[in-house]
Every structure is written in structure tokens, then in C-alpha cells.
Amino acid sequence: MGLFGRRKAVEQALSEAQAECQALRSQLGNAASERDELRAERDLLRQERDELHATVKRQDDELAAAAAAAEAAGARVEEAAAREAVRTKAMAEGEPGPSWPLLLADMERRWANTVGVPPSARAMKATEVPGQLAEALDREVERVREEVGVDVSITLTNEVATGMPVVFLLAATDLLGALVSTCERVTLELDGKLVLLGEVWAELGDEIDVARQRAVAAGLAVEPVEIDTERVRVTMLP
């Protein structure tokens, strides 16, 4: 092969090499594009995964909160059922029990000694339990007002008929004591239930709430303590 022939062969080989290089460049570009698409798909999958994890966590938190709320509601239902069972049993017995006259006698004695009532004027006017409960509370208010010096008053619209008069009266005097030790003015309202209102205080503390918890533990229905800027309120249901 002459010089011209060899030159032609070299040119042809160069042309083929250039074409192959161009093809490789094209393949490289396609591979880079495919790589970028895969990266974008990977990032999208990661984002979806993170969002799914966040959704699952939020649902787990909501489920845990719902379970806690259901447990708390169940506890309140059991507490209410226990109180109702105690009250139903007491009401089925029909009588306040032998401790009722003992409690009334003790309160009568403390009231008379504080206020200065002679034995001949100490007898209760009421003969039925609801009336005796109202009269005992009225006497306790008078005794506390005289002994402690706090502005305490009571209003009677309707008597309270409860199946547990002993526990009710003890809890009422306990709550009254907690209020008068904290507030400067206390009012009791009897209207088928007992509402205790306290006004003007420096610091409430937890004495009233603790007294309420004792009443609830004894089987009474006592609404949560309500506090605003002017007064504190406790409601005892029959």
C-alpha cells in the first residue's frame, strides 16, 4: 500500500474514532440525564417517606391522647358510679342512721357554747332530716361568724334532701371551714343543693380543693371548685 493509501486508512480510522467518541459522549449525556432523574425520584421518595413518618407520628400522638382521654373518662364514670352506689344504698335504708343525732347534738353544743344559748332554747324546730340539715347549717354559720369573726351568711330557698345527711353535713362544715380560713366574706345558699361562695382573699392555696376532694372521696357529688377574679364557688349536690 502506497503513502496515499495509508493516509486514507488513517483518515478513515480517525473518522471512525471521532464517531465513536461522539457516540460515547451522547451515551454519557443520556446516562447523566438518567442519573439526574433517578436523583430527583430518590429525593421525592425521601420526601414522601418523611411526610409518611410525620403522619404516622401525628396519628400515634392523637391515638395516645384519645386513649388517655378515654381512660380519664372511664375513671370519672367509675367514680360517679361508686358515689351513686353509696348514695343509692343510703337512700334505700330510708334513715340517716344512728350517727345523725350524735352529729346534731355535737354541733348544737358547740353552737350554744359559742353563741351563749341556754339549754332551754337549744332544741331544733325541724323534725325532718332536710329541715334539720338546714337548721344545723344555719347554726354553724352563726357559730363561725361569732367565733372566727368572718362575714358569713346563709340563705334558704329550698331544703336539701340527701341520702347521706351525716356525710353531707360533715363535708359542708369542712368546706365552710376551708372557706372562712381563706376568705373574708362567705355565703351559703341552700336551694335543693348547697352552694358555698367565698369573696375577698389574699391567697387561696389548695385548702378548699383538698376539702372538696375529701367530700368526693366520701361519696358525695361536689362540682369542681370555680375561681374567678372576684369569688370562689363550690357546689354540693344532694
Q: pLDDT digits over 180-206, tens only?
A: 999 999 999 999 999 999 998 878 889
Give CA separation, 116 vs 48, 113, 157, 174, in Å. 83, 5, 27, 23
Quick one: pLDDT at residue 218?
A: 94
Quick one: pLDDT at residue 235?
A: 97
> What span, in angstroms and rounded, lies between the C-alpha atoms of 47 and 44?
5
Domain range for 109 is 99-237
Same domain, 78 and 140: no
Confidence at 166, pLDDT banded by 50, 70, 90:
very high
The domain tally of the chain equals 2
Same domain, 62 and 179: no
Same domain, 69 and 127: no
Same domain, 104 and 88: no
Same domain, 12 and 75: yes
Q: What is the pTM of this model?
A: 0.61
How large is the average pLDDT for residues 154-163? 94
Boundary residue ending a domain (51, 76, 93): 93
Same domain, 141 and 82: no
Cell of 34: 438518567
Contacts of 101 (CB under 8 A, 6+ apart): none
Same domain, 114 and 57: no
Boundary residue ending a domain (43, 66, 93): 93
Same domain, 168 and 201: yes
Same domain, 170 and 52: no
How large is the average pLDDT for residues 3-17? 78
Same domain, 138 and 231: yes
CATH of the domain at 150: 3.30.565.10
More confident residue, 181 or 96: 181
Confidence at 88, pLDDT banded by 50, 70, 90:
low
